[in-house]
Structure 1
Amino acid sequence: MRTFANLDEVKAAKGEQLGVTEWHLVTQEQVNLFADATEDHQWIHVDLDRAAKGPFGGPVAHGYLTLSMLAKFSGQLWKVGGLSMAVNYGLNKVRFPQPVRVGKRIRAHGQLADIAENKMGLQVTVLITVEIEGEAKPGCVAESLALLVPAG
């Protein structure tokens, strides 16, 4: 995890790598819970028998489930001191180059891609790549935006 004492240190690190998170195992239980929460029960995610005969050879995580893991991964990649709050400001580009098969482990790599002044503080763009263990292509590549508001 990359730790910054304040916003000045964040500004100075533009373009730098933030590091790599811990591995996370994607389970069928997690996929099923996500399907229930989003009401997306497409067979490639939840029908084990049909998915085994499908194009991926088994069930795969929803792309949006993989994307939602950025919340967990961001907390493992970096933190900034001296803030009153840090909020998710949105996303720019998001791609899912390869499906994440159930039973695979994923982790994220982060880069502090861009920084812009905002009337409340800094708007930071972090390029996050979700690696799938043993696969050549990532499961997700996204530009995640955060708004960092200084204390006081």
Structure 2
Amino acid sequence: MKRHVGIETLSDWVEVTQAMIDQFAEATGDHQFIHIDPVAAAQTPFGGTIAHGFLTLSLMPLLSSKVADAPRLEGAKMGVNYGGNKVRFLTPVRSGSRVRGRFKLLDFHEKRPGQFQQTTEFTVEIEGAPKPALIAEWMSQIFV
């Protein structure tokens, strides 16, 4: 894994649908109109409904599963989120947009025998947009 530090990988594109946004609103209780009311949201500067920022962040596992050449730790039994060093929401993701993940492994080390920690720069790009939806520095732990 250490030889992959600094290398970027890209996921396939994934459409963020209104159904995904509505389901996230139900799961989190965040029913702000900019997410779930297309008529009212059309009157905002966004011009329509947008995904929750936390929905966009939560796409990390889905997008990472769609990276064909992602480095994987041999013998891994499970991985868990450890936390974020920073998260910035830069551009709203409009319903119907396609996004992809850009991943760059920043650090990988063994915390204790059989437990490794990695820090990854995670960027969500919006197809056709000049700026990404978000940039995060995320830590996870992998157990072998």
TM-score normalised to the size of structure 1?
0.86
Match of 2:3 in 1: 12
Structure 1 unaligned residues grouped into runs of 5+: 1-9
The one of 118, 130, 138 aligned to 1:144: 138
Percent identity, aligned pairs only, is 44
C-alpha distance in 1 between matches for 2:15 and 2:78: 30
Mapped partners of 2:35, 2:91: distance in 1: 14
**What is the CA distance between 1:55 and its match in structure 2?**
1.4
* Alignment partners' CA distance in 1, 2:24 and 2:104: 27
**1:89 and 2:82 aligned:** yes
Q: Distance in 2 between matches of 1:76 and 1:87?
A: 18
Count residues with an aligned counterpart. Answer: 140
What SS class does the counterpart of residue 83 from structure 1 fall into?
coil
What CA RMSD, in Å, does the superposition of the two structures yield over aligned residues?
A: 1.3
Partner of 1:5: none
The match for 2:12 among 18, 22, 25 is 22
Deviation, 1:53, is 0.7
Higher mean alpha-carbon deviation, 83-92 vs 139-148, is at 83-92
Q: Is 1:44 the equivalent of 2:38?
A: no
Between 128-137 and 113-122, report the one with greater CA deviation: 113-122
Task: Show structure 1 runs of 4+ deviating over 3 A.
Answer: none
For residues 78 and 28 of structure 2, the distance between their equivalents in structure 1, rounded to whole angstroms, comes to: 28
- Shift of the alpha carbon at 1:75? 2.4
From the superposition, tell whether residues 53 and 144 of structure 1 become closer, same or farther in structure 2 (CA, over 3 Å).
same
Deviations 1:10-56 (A, max 9, x none): 01222122x11111111111111110110000011111111001110
Q: Shift in Å at residue 76 of structure 1?
A: 2.7
Which residue of structure 1 aligns with residue 123 of structure 2? 129
Deviation at 1:86, TM superposition (A): 2.1
How far off its partner does 1:133 sit? 0.4
Distance 1:15 1:25 in 2: 27
Answering whether residue 94 of structure 2 is matched by residue 101 of structure 1, we say yes
Correspondence for 1:58: 48
Partner of 2:118, secondary structure, is: strand
